[in-house]
Amino acid sequence: MHDTTQKDTSGKVTLEITSELQAWRTRTLNVILTIAAIAAALPIVLVINDAIRQPLQRPAVLIFAVIYLFVVALAIFRRLDPRLRAWGLLLLGYAAGVLAFARGGLAGDGPMYLLALPVLAAILVSVRSGLVMAVLGLLTFAAFAVTAHLGWLANWLIIPDNPLILSRWVSKGTTFVMLLIALVVLQWLFGRFQTRTLQTTMERGIQVDEARAFLQARTEELDRRARQLEAIVHLSHSMTDLIESEEMLQRTATAIKEQFSFDGVAIYLTNESGDEVNLRASVGNVPEGDVHSEYLELMTQAIRSGTLRAIHPSAEKAPAAGPGRLVLPLRARGQTIGALAVQTREQAVFSDEDIAILQMMADQIAVAIDNARLFSEAQSSLRELHALSRQYAVEAWERYTQARAEAMRYSYGETTCSAQTWQAAREQARASGDPVTFTGDNENGETVQSLAAPVNLRGLTIGVLGLHRPTAAGAWRPEEITMVRMIADRLALAADNLRLLDETQRSAARERLVGEISDQMQRATDTEALMRITAEELNRVLGGSRTYVRLGTQAELAGGSGHEPQEERS
């Protein structure tokens, strides 16, 4: 994997170097052509002036003029292929060098042209082109050396005292070859160094860009994870504030869609038996029809297996659906109670980190759902216990008041209202559970201000506290009513404590009597004595006029008449 990446990087660098080098060569060529067109203008004028005085030089001047015009054309027409323009410049320079050799020999500018052309070729085209121009320059120098030795060059020279001896040409040629080789080698080495340096710089630049891109991607990924974890914490806090299961599920689905930017979120739960899966909350894009049936079947499998599943619906049923769907089981206390289905078009495949985050969120949802169920069950049990407690309290107070009908009422003072008015006020206070103030007349026809405050014990009205005073004392003030309500509540608690104390004492008395009778029964030495002691003690404790005890088989007992036969004792 690393080698492949390195090869790809090297390929990119090579392409970039080639492109950059070509662009630089084009710019350099434009500069050289522009400078050449401007700088060669004056020499061309001077050459033309010489040709006017020396008619024999007019053909050479014509050639120089044509070369200059070609240079100007190459400088102007920049849309031509840069390589074609570069070779045109090199060939024109070569032609100018040949003419310079022909007119000036060793004393002219010909060797300078032949030395400069390989350098220009290596710079503007390639190192190979520079070698070609170097070889061509050597061959040209050798050719002019031969023409000088044969005497042909003498007819072309315009510079006097120009050496035509072969040894002088060989000596100059050796220097020319050494300079040419030195220039070519230096240019080749510098080109390699420049290429390697540029390649290293670009590779490091690409590596820096890749590292920066990787760091940026990781930073964005970490930011996304942080936002997801923050969303989970926020979602967990919001779920703890909700008690009703249906409201919690719908608000949870909405929060997940908003916090994670999903296209759709659905929550499925099983029934109590676990054999049926139902959609309980959804928001956004949720599959319908046959697609929903297919998803529901897959979610049922995910719930039963307790493992997450990525859903890829069939193309004919959901051609535009896209594969970005994931089903995560909702597990609580070792059981799978449902599934969370999310849908997104931003990513086709969920990463392991995404799945871990979503599963953490699903576990939070499962715990919240289970807590809501437990809370609902606890509330139901509490209501049942409250109902049983209320029923027990009602029955206990009914028994208690029936046993003490006279002792459960007490009146202090003389001012009161009529019995009919008090009866109506008392019933109103018992029904509403709140204090009632009213104005009524007493038996003497005097108007009195009355207050009926219910005595409430854990939601059960066990009595009414009534207060009456003359009208001159004024109406009952709110703070007085509040104080009476508080006293009525304390009265209810105290009365219930007395009732419980009485029941405890009665229970203790019964236990004591049972213990005493049991002790007497334990002292019996035979069956007859046992039955006699039992009958006597029960008759004493219960105050009966006659006590009957009979022992026998089931058939004998079933045939008894309730009267003592001769063999039975009483």
HEC states along 449-493? EEEEEEEEECCEEEEEEEEEEEHHHCCCCHHHHHHHHHHHHHHHH
In whole angstroms, what is the distance from residue 506 CA to residue 500 CA?
10
Structure tokens that stand for 34 in this block: 């522009």
The full set of domain ranges for the chain reads 2-208, 248-376, 419-507
In whole angstroms, what is the distance from residue 334 CA to residue 190 CA?
74
Phi, psi of 162 (to 5 degrees): -90, 125
CATH number of 248-376: 3.30.450.40
443 three-class SS: coil
In whole angstroms, what is the distance from residue 9 CA to residue 204 CA?
10
310 three-class SS: strand
In whole angstroms, what is the distance from residue 173 CA to residue 167 CA?
9
Structure tokens that stand for 531 in this block: 């039955």
Topology alike, domains 248-376 and 419-507: yes
Q: Give the helix/strand (H/E) hosting 54.
A: none
Q: What residues contact 287, with CB distance under 8 A and at least 6 apart?
A: 294, 295, 313, 318, 321
188, 122 in Cβ contact below 8 A? yes
Location of structure tokens 């005497």: 151
Per-residue pLDDT, 483: 92
CB atoms within 10 A of CB 10: 13
Phi, psi of 273 (to 5 degrees): -80, -15
Location of structure tokens 């703070």: 479
328 three-class SS: strand
What is the 3-class SS of 340-371, one letter each residue? EEEECCCCCCCCHHHHHHHHHHHHHHHHHHHH
CATH number of 419-507: 3.30.450.40
CB atoms within 10 A of CB 298: 19
pLDDT along the chain (570 residues), means of 10: 55 72 82 81 74 65 76 82 83 80 72 84 83 86 78 65 69 77 80 78 82 89 79 70 69 80 83 75 68 64 65 42 70 81 72 79 82 83 84 77 68 73 83 84 76 83 84 84 89 85 85 85 82 81 72 68 46
